[in-house]
Amino acid sequence: MKKILLTFVGEQDPISEKTNEEGSIVTLVRHLKPDIVYMFPTVKTLGAKNSTDKNARDTEDWIKADFPQTDFICMPISTDPTDYTSLLTIMKQEVKKTLKQIQREFSDSYELHANCSSGTPQMKTTWLIFANTGLLPRVHLWQVANPQFKTEDRITEIQGAFIEEENIIVRAQRYAQNLMFYSVIEELAELFKISIYHDRRQKAELLKKVFEGYARWDLIQYKEAYEKLNSARGKIAGTMDMKYLEEILDKQLRVLSELKRDETIENTHNLVDLIYNAKRRFHNHQYTEVLARFWRIYEGVLYCHLLTTYGVNPRNLKSSTNKNNLKKLEAYNTEDIRRNSLTLYSADTILSNTFKDQVLAKLKKETVMIDRGISKQEVNIGDTMNELRITRNDSIVAHGMTPVSYLDANKAVLVMDKMLNIFFEDTYYSSESVFPINKEIALKTCECLLF
């Protein structure tokens, strides 16, 4: 691990004419013993009449006498050292160039330090500004007290929560609350990159894995989500400050263990999970996705109901376990029967007309309060589903190019809620068996970053 020091060069380097004491660069080098020192002296220009270029050369010679193994890289800057605008503009370019060189040579195997005591007041605060904005990732900031005022313990590391770190945490929380999982992942990766606090970096890395799991879950990749969350759960086992997250992950892993068991066939677990998936899409204004999920949920609920209640496998009629019910379908002479599978329309019709199913009948008799834009209207669910069928056929979900509106998506969510309540009441209302990723849970997951 290479230790690298970045420093401006002041008029009191390498030794102060006022105190006859070694300046901040020499003092800090004796303390840190860096492998490389990058010095940024000023040179005379039309806009800057003073120069510390000679001070830089003298400082190198002074230090080399005691630390011959230390490498020095001098990078003169042409700017007025009292002009913030000019100084920040030039140093931003120099720092980026320097970091590229360091990363190219040492990859991530280096430790960055900056001297906040040499140079003009504007120069000293430049390092603080760059650390706060994240331009200097994981930098350790140092100040060296004037020996006139402090003779012992003159070297102090500047501690504090940097502005950009706090900004990242705020953004990560906002993205989490808005269920924008990939944006949270990007912010956590940046926090891991720039934070000087080892504990915070560890938490950022851990939460990144959690939100990667949430992102996979949101894509209905249950096995991958389980692996991510289980890995994160293993790393926080027994930690007191993250016990709340351990409890959240335990519940989520129980849900995922059911969801990943059989991802290919409709069941109460994945259909209930799908409605929460649709609600997350609704929250993010993805109304076309909401409508598409509505029809998938409706089809899945009917297929699941046929299989579990009537022993009829709608995807493979010949494999149906209830042969008597299968015979009842023979009178329903359609192409679906001939090809050994049912469409959504056929499943609906068979349940309604052949089996006289009371659960489906109950659903269609229910009402929902529909938002019509200027008013709300209580509408029969059967009629509402006919409206949604027309919307689907005219939209990009099916045969048309019409966009799906907020009102249509909201209508679909209301009907899905009723549908799941009637068909899967126990599962739907059991928080232990559902425990969905919603904005409250996603936001609470980020809680450890605040400490």
Q: What digits encode the pLDDT tens for the residues 187-236?
A: 999 999 888 777 888 899 999 999 999 999 999 999 999 999 999 999 88
Type of residue numbered 399: H
Q: Left, alpha or beta for 218 (phi > 0: left; psi -120 to 50: alpha)?
A: alpha
Does the structure show a pLDDT above 90 at 68?
Answer: yes
Does the structure show a pLDDT above 90 at 274?
Answer: yes
CATH code of the domain in which 256 resides: 1.25.40
Compute the distance between CA of residue 166 and CA of residue 230 in angstroms, rounded to an integer.
Answer: 28
Looking at 227, 262, 297, the residue that finishes a domain is: 262
Query: Quick one: pLDDT at residue 48?
Result: 56
Burial, 22: exposed, middle or buried (Cβ in 10 Å; 0-12, 13-18, 19+)?
buried
pLDDT tens-digit readout, 11-48:
888 888 888 888 899 999 999 999 999 999 998 765 55
- Same domain for 63 and 200? no
Looking at 104, 134, 159, the residue that finishes a domain is: 159
Query: Quick one: pLDDT at residue 161?
Result: 58
Compute the distance between CA of residue 361 and CA of residue 379 in angstroms, rounded to an integer.
Answer: 15
User: Among 362, 378, 367, 368, which Cα is nearest to 423's?
Assistant: 362
Query: Quick one: pLDDT at residue 7?
Result: 96
Q: pTM to 2 decimals?
A: 0.73
The count of domains in the chain is 3
- Same domain for 11 and 152? yes
In the chain, helix, strand, coil percent, each to 5? 60, 10, 30
Does the structure show a pLDDT above 60 at 432?
Answer: no
- Same domain for 155 and 168? no
Looking at 106, 139, 159, the residue that finishes a domain is: 159
- Same domain for 315 and 403? yes
Q: Which two tokens stand for residue 222?
A: 């249950």
Asked if 38 and 7 count as a contact pair (C-beta separation under 8 A), the reply is yes
- Same domain for 243 and 382? no
Mean pLDDT, rounded, for 40-58 = 81
CATH code of the domain in which 59 resides: 3.40.50.10770
- Same domain for 318 and 342? yes
Residue partners of 401: CB distance under 8 A and separation at least 6: 395
Q: Describe the crossing of helices 198-218 and 181-194 by its angle, rounded to 10 degrees.
A: 160
Does the structure show a pLDDT above 80 at 247?
Answer: yes
In this structure, what are the phi and psi dihedrals at residue 162, rounded to the nearest 5 degrees? Answer: -75, 150
- Same domain for 136 and 26? yes
More confident residue, 164 or 192: 192
- Same domain for 171 and 149? no
Average model confidence (pLDDT) for the chain?
A: 89
In a domain, 379, yes or no: yes
Q: Is 352 helix (H, G, I), strand (E, B) or coil?
A: helix
pLDDT tens-digit readout, 332-387:
767 778 889 999 999 999 999 999 999 999 999 999 998 887 888 899 999 999 99
- Same domain for 111 and 242? no
Does the structure show a pLDDT above 70 at 319?
Answer: yes
Asked if 13 and 52 count as a contact pair (C-beta separation under 8 A), the reply is yes
Indicate the pLDDT class of residue 163, thresholds 50, 70 and 90: confident
In a domain, 231, yes or no: yes
More confident residue, 151 or 442: 442
- Same domain for 292 and 400? yes
Domain of residue 65: give its range.
Answer: 2-159
In a domain, 440, yes or no: no
- Same domain for 134 and 253? no
Residue partners of 1: CB distance under 8 A and separation at least 6: 109, 110, 111
